Amino acid sequence: MAEPTLRVDSLSKHFGGVVALDAVTLEVHAGEIHALIGPNGAGKTTLVHLLSGALAPDTGRVHFDGADVTARKFHERVALGLARSYQVTSVFRAFSALDNVALAVQARSGSSLRFWAPLATERALFDEARAVLAEIGLAGRDGVPAGHLAHGEQRALEVGLALATRPKVLLLDEPMAGMGPEDSERMIALIDGLKARLTVLLIEHDMDAVFRLADRISVLVNGRVIATGPPDEIRANDEVRRAYLGEEQQA
Amino acid sequence: MTRSEPLSTTMQRWISLAVLAAAIAFPLVARPLEWDFYIGFASRIMIYALAATSLNLVLGYGGMVSFGHAAFVGAGAYTVAILMAEGVASAWIAWPLAVLLAGALAAAIGAVCLRTRGVYFIMITLAFAQMIYYVAVGMRAYGGEEGLNLATRSAVGFGLDLKNDVTFYYVVLTILAAALFALRRAMGARFGRVVVAIRENETRMEAIGFPTYRYKLVCFALGGAVAGLAGALLANHNSYVNPNLLYWPQSGSLMIMVILGGVGYLYGGLFGAVALLVLEELISGYTIHWQLGVGAVLLAIVLFAPQGLAGLLARHRDG
C-alpha cells in the first residue's frame, strides 16, 4: 500500500477538563473507504473538526497528501482537497439547490473579488453545479430552495456541497443521519460510486452501511482508536464487540 | 435568493427609473416655488441615504452588525474639512482622499473586530468608533470639541458651483444613484453572492473553501469607504464638522435607518433615511419629544414589518 493519503499522528483534544480525543493515530489509504465507528461521545465528530481544520488540536499532527497540514486553515485544506460534510445538515437554506452547489464550484474557480460581471452569466459554474446535482440525485430540483427540500434530499445536498469542492479525501460525518431505509440505500449507492474517484473517511452509525461500504474500519472508544482492520476482522474483534458492537446489538 | 429580490426585476427597474425621474425633476419644480429649504433637506436625506446604504452593505448584506459606522462618516467629513482648512478645496483631491482614508480606517478596525463574533463584534466596533470620536475631540488645531467651519464648499470645476444648492443637490443625487447602481451590480456579481452566503452560513462557507475573513474584511472596508464619501458630502452640506458626527448615537441613527428601511434590501438605506429624517422633521414641528414618535414608528415597523419598508413593499407587490 502506498503512502497513506491522510495520516493522523497522536492527535489529542481537550474541552476544559474533558478529554475528547486521546492520542488518536489513524491512517487512511488512497482510494479506500475507511469507516470510523464508535459509540456516541467517542469523539468522532471532534476528529472530523480537527481533520478539516475547524478546530485546532492540543497536540499531534495531521498529514495530508504528503504534507503536514496541522497549521493550515480550514479553507486552505479544502483548497488542497480535504473536504467535509456535516452530521447536522448545514446548507444555505435560502438559496436554491443549484446556487448551493454553484457556490462550492465558485470557491475553487478563481477569485470572487468580482464586483461587476453578473454571476448569473457564468455558464461554466452552473453547468458544473448541475452535473453535481445529477450525481447526488437532485437533477430537476435546481430551483428549489434548499430549506424546502425533503430531508433525504437535504442530506444528499449536504454531501453534494462537499463533493463540488472536488476533494481528494472526503470526510463524511454521518451522512445517513435521520434517514429512512430508502434514502439510506440511495446514499449508500452514492458513496459506493465515489470509490473509484476519491478517498472517503466515513463516520456512520448505520452498521449495515458501514459493513457494506468500508474497506477498512477503525473503532473509536472514549477518544482512543482501539482497533483498525478489514470489516471481518473488526466484526470478530472481542474488544470491539465488548465496547461497541455488542452494546449496539443489545440495544 | 428569495429574500433580496422578490419584486420582478422589470417592475423594480421601472419603479427605480420613476423615482429617479422624480428626483431629477424635483428642483425644477421646487426652485420656482422657492422651496429652497426642501432642496437642502432632500440633499441631506440623500447623503444620509448614502451613509445608510454603506452600512446596509456591511450590516444587511454582510451580516456584520457594526455599531461604529459613524466613525467612517466622520473620518470622511474631517478629511474634507481639514484639507479645506489647509487650503485644499478641490473635490477631486479631498473626496477621493476621504474615501481612501475612511476605507483604510475601516480596514484597520475591521481587521481586529472581525476576529470576534456576535455581541463582542457590536461592542468592539462601538469601542473603536468612540476612540475615533475622542481623537476628533482632541484635535485642538481643528476645533476640538467646537468643531470646524468650512470656508466654502469643495471645488469641482467644470463650471459647477457647489455653493448653489441645486447644483449640490444634483451632485449628491448623481453619487447616490451611482452608488445604488454599483451596489446592485456588486450584489449580483460573485462578490455579492459570497457576502450574502457568509451571512447565511459562515461555517459552511469555510467548509467549501472560502477565506471568509478576507471577504468580510473587504466588505467592511468598502462600507467604510462609501461612508467616507457620505461624510465628505455631509461636511459640504453643513459647511461644518464637529465630533458629534462621530458620536455613537449617529451610528445608532444609521442602524435605525437600515432596520427601518429594510436590512439587506437594495433600497433599505434610502427608504430608511427618507422615513427617519422626514419623521424627525414632521414630529419635531409639533413637539421637542420627537424621538418618542420615532421610537413608536420604529417599534411598529419591527413588530409588523420586520423586513422593513423595502420588505413591506416587496411583499405587497408579490401578494
Mean pLDDT by 10 residues, chain B (319 residues): 54 86 93 88 97 97 96 97 93 96 98 94 96 94 89 88 92 97 96 97 96 97 98 96 94 94 94 93 84 86 87 61
DSSP structure string for A163-179: HTT--SEEEEE-TTTT-
Cβ pair A116:B189 closer than 8 A: yes
As a whole number, the mean pLDDT across chain A is 92
User: Does the beta carbon of A144 lie under 8 angstroms from any beta carbon of chain B?
Assistant: no
Distance from CA of B67 to the nearest CA of A (A): 25
User: Does the beta carbon of B179 lie under 8 angstroms from any beta carbon of chain A?
Assistant: no
Residue A246 has pLDDT above 90, yes or no: no
Q: Which residue of B has its CA nearest to A106?
A: B190
Q: pLDDT-derived band of residue A75, with 50, 70 and 90 as boundaries?
A: very high
d(CA A81, CA A64): 9
Which run of H or E residues covers position B185? helix B165-188
Q: What is the pLDDT of residue B174?
A: 97
Cβ pair A118:B1 closer than 8 A: no
Report whether B102 contacts B225 (CB < 8 A): yes
Report whether B182 contacts A95 (CB < 8 A): no
Cβ pair A94:B200 closer than 8 A: yes
Triad B131, B133, B134: Cα angle to 5°: 65
For A77-122, how does the pLDDT look when each residue is reduced to its tens digit (9 = 90+)? 999 999 999 999 999 999 999 999 999 999 999 899 999 999 999 9
Residues 208-247 of chain B whose Cβ lies under 8 A from any Cβ of chain A = 208-212, 215, 218
User: Does the beta carbon of A165 lie under 8 angstroms from any beta carbon of chain B?
Assistant: yes
Q: pLDDT-derived band of residue A32, with 50, 70 and 90 as boundaries?
A: very high
Written as nine digits, the cell of A124 is 461554466
Q: Which residues pair with A202 in a beta bridge?
A: A35, A172
Report whether A136 contacts A157 (CB < 8 A): yes
Cβ pair A115:B211 closer than 8 A: no
d(CA B315, CA B317): 5
Cβ atoms within 10 Å of A167's Cβ, excluding its own: 22
User: Does the beta carbon of A93 lie under 8 angstroms from any beta carbon of chain B?
Assistant: yes
Q: pLDDT-derived band of residue A131, with 50, 70 and 90 as boundaries?
A: very high
Cβ pair A165:B208 closer than 8 A: yes
Written as nine digits, the cell of A116 is 461587476
DSSP-based three-state secondary structure for B113: helix
Written as nine digits, the cell of A113 is 473579488
CA distance to A123, B25, B80, B158, B215, per residue, from B91 (Å): 42, 25, 8, 12, 30
Report whether B107 contacts B220 (CB < 8 A): yes
Q: Which residue of A has its CA nearest to B217?
A: A113
**Residue type for B95, please?**
W
Written as nine digits, the cell of B217 is 474584511
Report whether A218 contacts A34 (CB < 8 A): yes
Cβ pair B188:A161 closer than 8 A: no
Where b means 16+ CB within 10 Å and e means fewer, A86-102 reads bbebebbebbbbbbbbb
Residue A2 has pLDDT above 80, yes or no: no
Where b means 16+ CB within 10 Å and e means fewer, B251-272 reads bebbbbbbbbbbbbbbbbbbbb
* Residue ranges with strand state E in chain B: 148-149, 240-241
ipTM of the complex: 0.93
Instruction: Report the predicted TM-score, pTM, of the whole model to 2 decimal places.
Output: 0.93
Q: What does residue A221 show for φ and ψ, rounded to 5 degrees? A: -135, 130
Cβ atoms within 10 Å of B238's Cβ, excluding its own: 17
Q: Which residue of A has its CA nearest to B195?
A: A112
A60 Rama sector, left if φ>0, alpha if ψ -120 to 50, beta otherwise = left
Triad A62, A68, A70: Cα angle to 5°: 50
Report whether B169 contacts B158 (CB < 8 A): no
